[in-house]
Amino acid sequence: MESTTYSVRVYKTEARKNAAGKVTSYRVEWATAGKRWRSTFQKSAQADAYRSKLLIAAREGEPFSLLTGEPVSWNRAERPEMSWYDFACKFADFKWKAASAKYRQDIARALTAATPAMFTSGEGKPLDRDLRTAMRRWAFNTKQRNDAPEETANVLAWLAKHTRPVSDITEAATVRAMLDTATSRLNGKPAATSTARRHKTILQNALDYAVELKLIDSNPIRSLKWKPVKVTYEVDRRSVVNPTQARRLLAEVEAQNPSGKRLVAFFGALYYAGLRPEEAVNLGGDNIVIPELEKNAETGQMEEPADDWGELHLTAATPFAGREWTDDGALREKRALKHREEGVIRIVPCPPPLTKLFRAHLAEFGTGPDGRLFAGIRGGELPYITYRRVWIRARENALTDKEVRSPLAKRPYDLRHACVSTWLNAGVPATQVAEWAGHSVDVLLKIYAKCIVGQEEAARRRITGALDDG
């Protein structure tokens, strides 16, 4: 139910002039439960008529909305009604076309997490697990909803009949319960801060859409006092490998059958060039510019040039999303580079060790029919599960038992962190590192603050020198 009050006070109409003193307007002011409201009119008759209606409603004992300040009856007749489930599906459809596949998943997860707070009763209620699966994979997936299997369709039919109307969300207790549910884990404990923030933002956007549809008068989440736990986005130094560990890991990757040799250059691109996995997956022959082998005049053998540095010209990324979330049914969705506009190229240096890996890969495997370097063992897109399994086995073989239990190189992405940390510790200016890594300088220094080593000692030496000079 909407929050209302019978405590209403209507003040006299006030005539007001603009700064130039030429235009007069008329302002009606009133208060509900102590909160002041104002409405301005160009003509005094309009203001008087509006004030009279307020007075009549107050004298007749009508409840006033605490969200709009006006009598509840004024909006009730005009406002359409819609169940939360129907609205959530409509919002998912509204966002679908412009959203990336990954963001479509985020929307589905947020709506799935929030919806239990809007259930009306438990009569005939399916299992919680079945409800979550039906919502996340089918109800809030525009592409899949109408093709749900019979068992799932029955779950969706229950949902369609057992959620409260969207207008109930204007009640403070209801919107807080929804936000608490959406930002909690299944065990009731708080979700990760990044998840909580993401779900809160999506729900806030959803209720903005409800206002646009005139289902509610204002967005109650925007006035709700809610603050997630502060989170740090700094890289854990314990996850960053040193060059010796990195070489051991790459050697173990290469030793894995049947996919290892095909993937050593893939993981090398993460470690030596700081690529994100979705950027490395998308690498094609046209993206790699490396020196050609040179002929030794004395021996006649082809040798690596003295300067074996190359460049990677990154144009796009293909993050994994799943067939049900992409428009074309592919496992991955081709997108612009992260933090870059469509068509913007990022150029990254390719150091000699990576040049050697690329040269060996191209010599043995070439590129696939689509021009990409890395593919599955049977061709086609490189599956996430394939390189994840190779990495798990290589890590177990390359590291000690203690290191395996630690965060060290726990994920392939940690190789990127190691690369960027190496650049910074080598003294490469932060502006240049940010450009190569695809970050802003501010974000770069926040993320890698704890991975920059040696600066404290250098700072102490400079201070000591300054004091000695004095």
Query: Who has greater pLDDT, 251 or 342?
Result: 251
Give me the phi and psi of 303, to 5 degrees please.
-130, 160
Q: How confident is the model at residue 132 (pLDDT cuts 50, 70, 90)?
A: very high
DSSP 49-105: HHHHHHHHHHHTT--EETTTSSBHHHHHTT----BHHHHHHHHHHHHHTTS-HHHHH
Mean pLDDT across the chain:
87
277 pLDDT above the threshold of 80: yes
H/E stretch holding 349 reads strand 346-350
Is residue 178 within 8 Å of 114, Cβ to Cβ? Answer: yes
Q: What is the pLDDT of residues 296-321, one digit of tens each?
A: 777 778 778 878 899 999 987 877 77
* Mean of pLDDT values over 194-199: 90
Name the β-bridge partners of 294.
303
Radius of gyration of the chain (CA): 30
Nearest of 81, 79, 59, 57 to residue 69 by alpha carbon: 57
**Of all residues in the chain, what percent carry a pLDDT higher than 70?**
90
1 pLDDT above the threshold of 60: no
Whether the pTM exceeds 0.75: the reply is no
Query: Who has greater pLDDT, 73 or 415?
Result: 415
* Mean of pLDDT values over 142-168: 92
> What is the per-residue pLDDT for 51?
93
H/E stretch holding 294 reads strand 294-295
For residue 281, with 0-12 CB atoms within 10 Å meaning exposed, 13-18 middle and 19 or more buried, which class applies? Answer: buried
| Residue ranges covered by each domain of the chain | 4-76, 84-223, 240-451
Query: Who has greater pLDDT, 188 or 163?
Result: 163
83 pLDDT above the threshold of 80: yes
> Most confidently modeled of 182-191, 259-268, 317-326?
259-268
Q: What is the pLDDT of residues 371-391, one digit of tens each?
A: 889 988 887 788 889 999 999
Sheet with 346-350, edge to edge strand ranges: 288-289, 310-314, 346-350
Fold designation for 4-76: Double Stranded RNA Binding Domain (3.30.160)
Q: For residue 331, give Cα distances in angstroms to 25, 95, 108, 141, 382.
A: 60, 20, 18, 16, 9
* Mean of pLDDT values over 196-205: 94
Compute the distance between CA of residue 412 and CA of residue 433 in angstroms, rounded to an integer: 20
Is residue 95 within 8 Å of 84, Cβ to Cβ? Answer: no
Residues 6+ apart with CB under 8 A from 394: 249, 252, 253, 255, 256, 260
H/E stretch holding 250 reads helix 243-255
Fold designation for 240-451: hpI Integrase; Chain A (1.10.443)
Range in 42-51, 123-132, 194-203 the model is least confident about: 42-51
